[in-house]
């Protein structure tokens, strides 16, 4: 099926099976491998992207349902080579080990901060509960999201 | 920088010009010698080291080598310093999130006296890097780190010598600094310029002095990850992100039960699908298609009948009984959990137990658990026709690239130098990615399709077809005197493994034995191996012994320890925790710790128990850790925090369910891993022993948590939960005793 997918501000005319996952199309057709497969069952958050500004699990999102709505992936966050405040905060806090969960964590955090610009620690934990990190970087991720809130408030983009 | 005096060159040609490097190159000799030549100008330094299987142990030096026999020599590491000053280090270790791409570079930069930014590590590539057993056992820091320091120091000394000869000065007047040799009156020359673009190769041995930790400048600091930007922008390519032109996506047909063999199969419908390759060979049936979705759909068109494996099919409900009653005939050699040893016997345990003032006997159980690395197994295989025959290249996330190279060579009946395994920095392993099954699958399909094929396991495949931490049963029978000395210690471990099986307490009468069992599930390494199980049983038991005579568990440990470093971490953890302070009703505190692989750990925790449902929640945790001189403090904290958080799952709720040779909870919705709501505030106390060699930290910090939590549960509600996980579905409060509280 032919459709238009708008990803990170670029429109892609694609012809794919509409039942394919958004994750599969991003990774395998558009070469955007920053978004990760972790479980394929909406349980780990590694595949989180923004669909119309909302965080979704792209592994269970049929690509057809994403057609016509802007998609943002981890690759689309930096602006003119400058990291998004959430990315910068993850760097500042060293909030990753293997970092395989990091793109999904960052995308979820971006959505969280859009709704709750100055979240409490509990709000961060609640917001990220669906994102699994197996290396155990949770305390640093919480610190990074709170730092990002401060960075954003101080004029960072995003 | 002043130009070198042209009248003073060249230096001794016979000493520094490229010469044949005759070394044991583990089957890749030709490739590697050619490779070294291709590096062109600059200096290659190869470190030859005595084969050292340096498992961390107290007092072990840089190379823990048997003194009774001469070990073989092998290549420890090599590096190349280019004309432009770029330093490339080649190591067979792999980066799985533990941070060694950074910490090993720091160690090298420290000795070579170059900026960290000039160092690049080439890791885990069987064509380019020296042979390495694998990245496991917390050996990267004590062994590879030491080797890189040695090759760095040796290279620095060579460069000093080169400069001294060129300038015809006493080398003692020269210093190596920031990638330059600096002489009197500010005369200086960069390392790269010193080679004059000539290809120089030097072989050095390990008798080189290293910089003491208290003089470190680059090592010992909290350098951020050298590739951190790629990690937060999604540009780093993990094994499951690797692509090649014309690449296909592979899927493999899985049996309906563990050990089943293929009876009948019909792939005719599948073969009719456009763009789909089907490969059937023995029990292997797989497909390759233009994308994952198409491959999954193709797989569903295969009609197959599987024959169940004969034999007993124990379930997770009766596994402990089964393991105890089903010994594995093997009596020595390597077992997934560690080396099988003869019983360790000291004194007379039977007599000491009989005459003890108090005797405590208990059985502990440990469930199978899964590693659940967030990146499931993945491999990309490519066959190419070289002038001298076919070559197979596989990119895959394995902790043992050279073992996977052999596995591939065996699978395809080809010499291993025709197989190249490359390990991109991988999405974690925790001991769960020692094997190359996915690599073999990708290579089979790539051969059949005549195109590169990637196989990326699903989460469900990872749960069903990878391997688990062994389940086990541990019987402990101990005696103590009324004044609090442990007098007798009998410890029988069925199947968990032998790692850290011996007590760290000074006990005059001991009998310790590991009994391997037939495991119905595939089992293997896990972070800490059996040290977690053995410490759980031992430290739970020690807590119970202390309570039996009404003694404080920390004081009891200190009374029975004769290891100062271990005593120190117990004291540090207790002090930071506020051991002895009151906690709210329904809360309890506990402590546990031990020694393994060169690291000393003690963890104190506070838990809250929900008396209505038996739910257990960690309120806070404090860990003190000593692994000698610290190479990267922030990286070390990462490893400790990570081990603690991962340990929460195994302590409280992770367990594999199985029945009739089928894993019945092969999904994250059914197999609970720690999430944000499970993670308490964590405090880490780093004990930096600059006078001691550096050891690894990837495993040992996980060991203290489970017994500390168990002790805290007892402190809170008076229940001894002797099975890991302890609180899956809540603990049974009907068995509560009156705790002798210390909280």
Q: Quick one: pLDDT band at residue B51, thresholds 50, 70, 90?
A: low
Mark which of B401, B423, B456 sits at the end of a domain.
B456
Which residues of B fall within a CB distance of 8 Å from A62? none
CA distance B410 to B418: 11
Residue A50, strand partner residues: A55, A72
Q: What is the mean pLDDT of residues B2-11?
A: 33
Q: Has residue B682 got a pLDDT over 80?
A: yes
CA nearest B682: which of B697, B711, B704?
Answer: B704
pLDDT tens-place string over residues A65-80: 999 999 999 999 999 9
Q: Has residue A121 got a pLDDT over 70?
A: yes
Selected for mutation to probe chain A from B232, B248, B469, B634 (highest A CB count within 10 Å) is B232
- Report CA-CA distances (Å) from B401 to B134, B142, B434: 7, 20, 8
> How does strand B658-659 pair with strand B486-494?
unpaired
Please report whether residue B665 resides in a domain.
Answer: yes
Choice between B61 and B671, residue whose per-residue pLDDT is larger: B671
pLDDT tens-place string over residues B102-153: 999 999 999 999 999 999 999 999 999 989 888 888 888 888 999 999 999 9
Q: What is the mean pLDDT of residues B384-410?
A: 96
- Tokens representing B21 are 């490097």
Which residues of A fall within a CB distance of 8 Å from B234? 32-35, 73-75, 103
Q: Which of residues 450-479 of B touch A (CB under 8 A)?
A: 456, 458-460
**Whether residue B207 sits in one domain with residue B106:** yes
Cβ pair B249:A142 closer than 8 A = no
pLDDT of residue B329: 78
pLDDT of residue B65: 32
CA nearest B266: which of B309, B308, B305?
Answer: B305
> Which residue in the set A46, A128, A139 is minimally distant from B374, CB to CB?
A46
Choice between B58 and B44, residue whose per-residue pLDDT is larger: B44
Would you say B203 and B212 are in contact if contact means Cβ atoms under 8 Å apart? no
Percentage above 70 pLDDT, chain B: 89
Which residues of B fall within a CB distance of 8 Å from A43? 459, 667-669
pLDDT of residue B232: 98
Q: What residue of A is the nearest CA neighbor of B681? A: A139
**Whether residue B248 sits in one domain with residue B145:** no
How many CA atoms within 13 Å lie on the side-chain side of B261?
Answer: 4
CA nearest B702: which of B525, B543, B562?
Answer: B525
For residue B280, count other CB atoms closer than 10 A to its CB.
18
**Whether residue B385 sits in one domain with residue B338:** no
pLDDT of residue B10: 29
**Whether residue B173 sits in one domain with residue B119:** yes
Q: Has residue B9 got a pLDDT over 50?
A: no
**Whether residue B341 sits in one domain with residue B299:** no
pLDDT of residue B54: 34
pLDDT of residue B66: 35
CA distance B563 to B602: 13
Domain count, chain B: 3
Which residues of B fall within a CB distance of 8 Å from A139? 641, 679, 681-682
**DSSP character string of B378-396:** EEEEEEEEETTEEEEEEEE
Q: Does the CB of A155 have a partner CB in chain B at under 8 Å?
A: no
Cβ pair B667:A41 closer than 8 A = yes
**Whether residue B543 sits in one domain with residue B416:** no
Percentage above 90 pLDDT, chain B: 80
Cβ pair A129:B676 closer than 8 A = yes
DSSP state of B326: -
Mark which of B214, B233, B252 sits at the end of a domain.
B233
- ipTM exceeding cut-off 0.90 for this assembly: yes
Q: Has residue B20 got a pLDDT over 90?
A: no
Q: What is the mean pLDDT of residues B594-618?
A: 96
CA B231 to centroid of chain Cα atoms: 21
Q: What CATH number does the domain containing B164 carry?
A: 3.30.365.10
pLDDT tens-place string over residues B586-603: 999 999 999 999 999 999
**Whether residue B493 sits in one domain with residue B571:** yes
pLDDT of residue B138: 84
Question: Following CA atoms B57, B62, B65, B70 in sequence, which dihedral angle do they give, to the nearest 10 degrees?
Answer: 180
Would you say B206 and B63 are in contact if contact means Cβ atoms under 8 Å apart? yes
Please report whether residue B657 resides in a domain.
Answer: yes
Q: Does the CB of B291 have a partner CB in chain A at under 8 Å?
A: yes
- Tokens representing B456 are 């990326």
Helix ranges restricted to H, chain A:
22-28, 63-66, 85-93, 102-115, 121-128, 138-153
> Which residue in the set B225, B667, B675 is minimally distant from A132, CB to CB?
B675
User: Torsions phi, psi of B534, nearest 5?
Assistant: -65, -35
Q: Which of residues 43-62 of A touch B (CB under 8 A)?
A: 43-44, 46
- Classify residue B97 by burial, with Cβ atoms within 10 Å: 0-12, 13-18, 19+: buried
Q: Does the CB of B667 have a partner CB in chain A at under 8 Å?
A: yes
**Whole-number mean pLDDT of chain A?**
96
Q: Has residue A127 got a pLDDT over 90?
A: yes
Q: Does the CB of B235 have a partner CB in chain A at under 8 Å?
A: yes
Q: What is the mean pLDDT of residues B364-372?
A: 98
Which residues of A fall within a CB distance of 8 Å from B240? 36-37
Q: What 3-state DSSP class applies to B735? A: helix
CA angle B318, B320, B325 (to 5 degrees): 100
Mark which of B181, B209, B233 sits at the end of a domain.
B233
Q: Has residue B19 got a pLDDT over 90?
A: no
Q: Quick one: pLDDT band at residue B206, thresholds 50, 70, 90?
A: confident
**Whether residue B219 sits in one domain with residue B188:** yes
pLDDT of residue A155: 66
Q: Hunting for tokens 């009774």 — which residue is that? A: B68
pLDDT tens-place string over residues B462-508: 999 999 999 999 999 999 999 999 999 999 999 999 999 999 999 99
Please report whether residue B275 resides in a domain.
Answer: yes
Residue B496: which H helix or E strand, with range?
none
Residue A151, strand partner residues: none
- Report CA-CA distances (Å) from B41 to B35, B80, B566: 13, 9, 50
- Classify residue B549 by burial, with Cβ atoms within 10 Å: 0-12, 13-18, 19+: middle
Please report whether residue B739 resides in a domain.
Answer: no
Q: What is the mean pLDDT of residues B40-59?
A: 63
Q: Has residue B58 got a pLDDT over 80?
A: no
> How does strand B509-515 pair with strand B486-494?
parallel
- Tokens representing B387 are 């002038």
pLDDT tens-place string over residues B402-416: 999 999 999 999 999
- Domain span at residue B50? 32-233
Choice between B77 and B542, residue whose per-residue pLDDT is larger: B542
pLDDT of residue B334: 55
Q: Does the CB of A139 have a partner CB in chain B at under 8 Å?
A: yes
Q: Has residue B195 got a pLDDT over 60?
A: yes
pLDDT tens-place string over residues B279-322: 999 999 999 999 999 999 999 999 999 999 999 999 999 999 99
For residue B109, count other CB atoms closer than 10 A to its CB.
25
Q: What is the mean pLDDT of residues A123-137?
A: 98
CA distance B496 to A84: 46
Please report whether residue B742 resides in a domain.
Answer: no
Cβ pair B99:A97 closer than 8 A = yes
pLDDT tens-place string over residues B156-166: 999 999 999 99
CA angle B271, B274, B277 (to 5 degrees): 50
**Whether residue B329 sits in one domain with residue B223:** no
Q: Does the CB of A92 have a partner CB in chain B at under 8 Å?
A: no
Cβ pair A98:B646 closer than 8 A = no
Q: Which of residues 581-600 of B touch A (CB under 8 A)?
A: none
CA nearest B454: which of B683, B244, B740?
Answer: B244
Cβ pair B228:A94 closer than 8 A = yes
pLDDT tens-place string over residues B430-458: 999 999 999 999 999 999 999 999 999 99
Choice between B74 and B613, residue whose per-residue pLDDT is larger: B613
Please report whether residue B590 resides in a domain.
Answer: yes
How distant is the Cα of A5 from the closest Cα of chain B, in angstroms? 18
> How does strand B261-266 pair with strand B303-307?
antiparallel
pLDDT of residue B722: 97
Q: Which of residues 89-128 of B touch A (CB under 8 A)?
A: 96-99
Q: Quick one: pLDDT band at residue B561, thresholds 50, 70, 90?
A: very high
Cβ pair B641:A24 closer than 8 A = no
Q: Which residues contact B318 (CB under 8 A, 6 or more apart)?
A: none
Q: Does the CB of B634 have a partner CB in chain A at under 8 Å?
A: yes
Query: Which pairs from B63-71 meet CB under 8 Å and 24+ separation?
Result: B63/B143, B63/B146, B63/B206
Residue B252: which H helix or E strand, with range?
strand B248-252
**Whether residue B575 sits in one domain with residue B472:** yes
Would you say B159 and B43 are in contact if contact means Cβ atoms under 8 Å apart? yes
CA distance B90 to B152: 12
Q: What is the mean pLDDT of residues A151-156?
A: 75
Rounded to two decimals, the pTM is: 0.93
pLDDT tens-place string over residues B626-641: 999 999 999 999 999 9
Cβ pair B232:A132 closer than 8 A = no
**Whether residue B623 sits in one domain with residue B499:** yes
Q: Has residue B6 got a pLDDT over 70?
A: no
**Whether residue B443 sits in one domain with residue B499:** no
Would you say A45 and A130 are in contact if contact means Cβ atoms under 8 Å apart? yes
Q: Has residue B4 got a pLDDT over 80?
A: no
Please report whether residue B475 resides in a domain.
Answer: yes
Rg (CA), chain A: 15
**Whole-number mean pLDDT of chain B?**
90
CA nearest B92: which of B62, B49, B43?
Answer: B49
Please report whether residue B668 resides in a domain.
Answer: yes
For residue B663, count other CB atoms closer than 10 A to its CB.
23
- Tokens representing B352 are 């000491």
């Amino acid at each position: 099926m032919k459709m238009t997918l708008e990803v990170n501000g670029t429109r892609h005319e694609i012809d794919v099976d509409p039942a394919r996952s958004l994750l599969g199309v991003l990774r395998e057709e558009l070469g955007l491998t920053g978004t990760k497969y972790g479980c394929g069952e909406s349980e780990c958050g590694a595949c989180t992207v923004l669909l119309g500004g909302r965080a979704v699990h792209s592994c269970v999102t049929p690509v057809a349902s994403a057609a016509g709505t802007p998609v943002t992936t981890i690759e689309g966050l930096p602006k003119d080579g400058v990291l998004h405040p959430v990315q910068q905060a993850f760097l500042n806090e060293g909030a990753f080990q293997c970092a395989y969960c990091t793109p999904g964590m960052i995308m979820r955090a971006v959505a969280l901060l859009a709704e709750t610009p100055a979240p409490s620690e509990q709000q961060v934990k609640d917001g990220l509960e669906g994102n699994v990190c197996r290396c155990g970087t949770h305390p640093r991720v919480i610190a990074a999201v709170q730092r990002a809130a401060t960075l954003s408030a101080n004029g960072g983009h995003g | 920088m002043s130009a070198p005096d042209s009248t003073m060159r060249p230096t001794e040609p016979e000493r520094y010009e490229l010469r044949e490097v005759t070394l044991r190159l583990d089957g890749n000799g030709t490739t590697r010698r050619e490779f070294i030549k291709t590096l062109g100008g600059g200096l290659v330094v190869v470190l030859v080291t005595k084969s050292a299987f340096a498992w961390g142990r107290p007092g072990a030096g840089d190379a823990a080598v048997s003194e009774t026999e001469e070990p073989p020599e092998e290549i420890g590491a090599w590096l190349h310093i280019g004309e432009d000053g770029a330093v490339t280090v080649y190591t067979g270790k792999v980066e799985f999130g533990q941070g060694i791409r950074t910490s090993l570079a720091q160690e090298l930069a420290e000795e070579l006296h170059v900026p960290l930014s000039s160092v690049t590590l080439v890791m885990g590539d069987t064509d380019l890097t020296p042979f390495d057993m694998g990245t496991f056992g917390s050996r990267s820091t004590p062994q590879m780190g030491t080797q890189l320091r040695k090759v760095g120091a040796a290279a620095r000394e060579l460069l000093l010598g080169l400069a001294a000869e060129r300038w015809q000065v006493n080398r003692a007047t020269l210093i190596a600094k920031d990638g330059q040799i600096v002489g009197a009156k500010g005369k200086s020359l960069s390392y790269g310029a010193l080679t004059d673009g000539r290809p120089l190769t030097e072989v050095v041995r390990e008798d080189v002095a290293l910089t003491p930790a208290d003089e470190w400048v680059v090592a010992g600091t909290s350098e951020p990850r050298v590739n951190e930007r790629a990690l937060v922008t999604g540009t780093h390519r993990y094994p499951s992100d690797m692509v090649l032109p014309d690449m296909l996506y592979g899927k493999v047909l899985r049996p309906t039960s563990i050990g089943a063999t293929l009876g009948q199969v019909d792939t005719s419908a599948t073969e009719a699908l456009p763009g789909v390759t089907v490969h059937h060979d023995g029990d292997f049936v797989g497909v390759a298609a233009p994308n994952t979705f198409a491959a999954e759909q193709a797989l569903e068109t295969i009609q197959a009948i599987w024959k169940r494996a004969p034999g007993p099919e124990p379930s997770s409900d009766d596994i402990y009984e089964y393991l105890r009653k089903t010994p594995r005939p093997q009596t020595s050699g390597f077992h997934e959990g560690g080396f099988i040893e003869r019983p360790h016997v000291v004194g007379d345990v039977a007599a000491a137990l009989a005459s003890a003032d108090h005797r405590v006997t208990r059985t502990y159980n440990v469930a199978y658990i899964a590693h659940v690395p967030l990146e499931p197994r993945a491999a990309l295989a490519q066959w190419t026709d070289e002038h001298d025959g076919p070559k197979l290249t596989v990119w895959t996330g394995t902790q043992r690239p050279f073992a996977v190279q052999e596995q591939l060579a065996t699978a395809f009946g080809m010499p291993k130098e025709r197989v190249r395994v490359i390990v991109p920095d991988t999405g974690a392993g925790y001991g769960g990615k020692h094997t190359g099954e996915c690599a073999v699958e990708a290579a089979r399909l790539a051969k059949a399709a005549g195109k590169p094929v990637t196989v990326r396991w699903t989460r469900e495949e990872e749960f069903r077809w990878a391997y688990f931490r062994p389940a086990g049963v541990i019987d402990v029978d101990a005696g103590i005197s009324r004044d609090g000395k442990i007098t007798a210690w009998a410890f029988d471990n069925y199947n968990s493994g032998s790692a850290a099986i011996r007590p760290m307490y000074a006990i005059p009468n001991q009998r310790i034995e590991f009994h391997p069992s037939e495991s119905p599930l595939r089992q293997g390494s896990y972070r800490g191996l059996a040290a977690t199980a053995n410490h759980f049983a031992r430290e739970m038991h020690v807590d119970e012994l202390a309570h039996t005579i009404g003694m404080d568990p920390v004081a009891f440990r200190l009374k029975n320890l004769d290891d100062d470093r271990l005593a120190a971490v117990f004291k540090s953890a207790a002090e930071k925790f506020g051991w002895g302070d009151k906690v709210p009703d329904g809360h309890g505190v506990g402590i546990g710790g031990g020694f393994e692989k060169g690291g000393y750990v003690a963890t104190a925790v506070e838990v809250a128990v929900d008396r209505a449902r038996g739910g257990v929640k960690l309120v806070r945790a404090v860990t003190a850790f000593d692994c000698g001189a610290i190479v990267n403090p922030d990286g070390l904290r990462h490893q400790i925090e990570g081990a603690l958080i991962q340990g929460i799952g195994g302590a409280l709720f992770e367990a594999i369910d199985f029945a009739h040779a089928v894993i019945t909870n092969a999904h994250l919705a059914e197999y609970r891993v720690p999430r944000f709501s499970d993670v308490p505030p964590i405090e880490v106390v780093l004990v930096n022993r600059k006078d001691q060699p550096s050891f690894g930290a990837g495993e040992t910090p996980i060991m203290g948590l489970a017994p500390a939590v168990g002790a805290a549960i007892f402190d809170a509600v008076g229940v001894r939960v002797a099975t890991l996980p302890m609180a899956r579905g809540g603990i049974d409060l009907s068995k509560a005793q009156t705790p002798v509280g210390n909280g």
